[in-house]
Amino acid sequence: MASSKTGEGIRLPRTDEVGFFGIRLESIGGLGANVAGQILAEVGVMKLGLNGANFSSYGSEKKGSPVKAYIRFCSPEREVRTSSPVDRPHIVAVFHEGLIKTEPVAAGLLPDGVIIVNSTHSPREIWQRLGKPAATVGVVDALTISVDEGSRVNTAMLGAMARASGFIDPNAVKSVIEATLGKRYPQLLESNLRTFDRGYSDLVLEEFNSQDAAQTQGNARSGPPFGYLDAVMGGVVVDVGNSVLKDLTASRSGYIPGFHRDECVDCALCDLVCPDFCFVWSVEQGEDGTQTNRLQGIDYKYCKGCMKCIDACPTEALTWDREVEGYADTHRVPLFPQIDGRSSNAPSASG
């Protein structure tokens, strides 16, 4: 992507060994990381006069699947001659806090880098969960901002990234947002501009230097699992998928089905529409000797927050709730208590 002359004179605050400033967005489908990457690249190239490029990497195109977006900038005198992933970024933006435990979000972050997490926790708490890297950690409650303003998480994260970068002009980002939304979705423009401003102003940054950090040379980037000397023969499955061991909590985008046993009539319509078999049942015997299935609860480990169960529920036993810290762990009923790794009196799932 060639640069324009609009922002001639802008210089990057720092670059890597080959002259690039790299940004990596860690997200899930549905939070708008791909669009955010496109907007950032357009700002850098068309508004700031830099050379740059961006692309995204993802598997199946569906809500909740892991997504990565990459942005590179360099001076206008250089050219971008690579389309490889940004594995040594200066900035990492984590759009979903749950990715910290399921993805190596901080992998390759440079020692002077910044990692921004959509979270309600403090920077120090996030820094500890990340493994205490030598970096600046930023937190912004992008989800709450987007819910309050009726917009999306990506716009709040754009504001946070603009502030953390040290060179991205917030007014330039807002002008691109206006050009992107102004014609297609004019009714959403003002709420998105407010969301951007709040993401910019609400970002809390804290620097952790080498004396505080467990790592002083940057987080290790992962290498390929195999080389030409130890590659397995074709057709061998070395990493077997298993839905029993799959943790889907990082797929939720901020909402969760709340279960209210007093309102439940055990109709099982929720179970019929659930794509991940999250509902836990037990067989109970009545006074007349008949057996009935009774819904005990939800195993939130397997719940990705699709909320289809709420649409199917004929009563108010399932409600659309904003997920708060600790709710899922407290109210979870293990579907497989025998392999859950902890003692539990929760009932086993019936066939």
Banded pLDDT at 62 (limits 50, 70, 90)? low
Domain boundaries defined on the chain: 21-208, 243-339
DSSP per-residue string spanning 40-71: HHHIIIIIT--EEEEEEEESS-STTSEEEEEE
Banded pLDDT at 210 (limits 50, 70, 90)? low
pTM for the whole structure: 0.78
Task: Give the pLDDT of residue 334.
Answer: 92
- Residue-wise pLDDT for 248-290, tens only, equals 887 887 889 999 999 999 999 999 999 989 999 999 987 788 8
Q: H helices of the chain, where?
A: 33-42, 99-102, 123-129, 142-149, 153-165, 170-181, 189-202, 269-273, 308-312, 327-331
Which architecture, in CATH terms, is 21-208?
3-Layer(aba) Sandwich (3.40)
Banded pLDDT at 347 (limits 50, 70, 90)? very low
Angle, in degrees to the nearest 10, between helices 142-149 and 189-202? 150
Nearest to 278 by CA among 303, 260, 304, 309: 303
Task: Give the pLDDT of residue 36.
Answer: 95
11, 49 contact by CB (below 8 A): no
Which architecture, in CATH terms, is 243-339?
2-Layer Sandwich (3.30)
- Residue-wise pLDDT for 151-181, tens only, equals 999 999 999 999 999 999 999 999 999 998 8
Triad 41, 46, 47: Cα angle to 5°: 100
Residue 8: Cβ-neighbour burial (10 angstroms; 0-12, 13-18, 19+): exposed
